[in-house]
Structure 1
């Protein structure tokens, strides 16, 4: 199964997987994960690590850094970056849910995912991550309901749909 999951990006076009956010492949490690500590982000202009609240970073660069840190299993650092972002933005809420789930706080993750979906009911990544959490907890009916929502909202063959489908088959979701 692991070989299939690793080969998945080769089997499904990346553009389809990337729809719905998050992307189909792990982020490429940058200086943010190789050099920076304590939730800092690497700034190319100054060639130094800086606090994510620094005005030189926009939310897109913060989001990329949070995703990279979360993928590297540095969930506390990712949460530090997310704290510098708009707390009502559905992307922020989705990754707050993801990090909460990966840190073992399923109830907190659920609250963040629900808030993300209240802000944007078509957030397929939030639906996928929430469904993966359900699958991991053994609530396959709730996970299938999210899979149906993803498909109904135009997410068939996206990374969100494929990763949730794989989680339903294996009982565990991918790391990112």
Structure 2
């Protein structure tokens, strides 16, 4: 069973681990990066490969593993490190990767840069509601509630008003939070 990456990252942070790469476990041993359910301490700019820390470079791990580790770092607030790891992904047109690059820039306060990545992700997959949610949250942070509401409408058209992405963006719009 896959352990949610964000939970591993949050657990590591709450125990005072300053530098880490979240890892996840597969019950069938199917994780090609060979990581375990423990959190491996690595330096910024490194990823876990076969239980060891290695420099995050293109091809060091399959794109999916780089994406998962980069995503977990972004969700744990390690935005610059996440950008290094996500930047090592070979497929520059993976909307999920573009989304978390945008997320890392947005959370670091670089809204204009974030918007470009979100727009590219949405251009590739117009139904990618998570990217639309994050784009809308960026618009809220920029004070562009009108644009955030237009993303909320787009999300509603794709998954309704009860999906998590709609609910999260609606909450951000109502509360004016990033």
Shorter chain as denominator, the TM-score bin is: 0.7 to 0.9
> Structure 1 113/48 Cα, relative in aligned 2: closer, same or farther at 3 Å?
same
Q: Any unmatched runs of 5+ in structure 1?
A: 1-22
| Number of residue pairs the alignment of both structures matches | 148
Structure 1 SS opposite 2:53: strand
Question: Is 1:137 matched with 2:142?
Answer: yes
Question: Is 1:93 matched with 2:112?
Answer: no
- Shift in Å, 1:94: 0.7
Q: Any unmatched runs of 5+ in structure 2?
A: 13-19, 23-38
1:39 is matched with 45
Structure 2 SS opposite 1:32: coil
Of 142, 146, 150, 2:151 maps to 146
Of 35, 55, 65, 1:51 maps to 55
**Higher relative contact order, chain-length normalized (CA < 8 Å, sep 6+):** 1
- Shift in Å, 1:87: 1.4
The structure carrying a bigger helix percent of its residues is: 1
**TM-score normalised by the chain length of structure 2:** 0.75
> Structure 1 162/93 Cα, relative in aligned 2: closer, same or farther at 3 Å?
same
Runs of 4+ in 1 over 3 A off after TM superposition: none
Which has the larger Rg?
A: 2
**1: CA distance, partners of 2:74 / 2:6:** 10
Q: CA RMSD in A?
A: 2.1
**TM-score normalised by the chain length of structure 1:** 0.75
2:176 is matched with 171
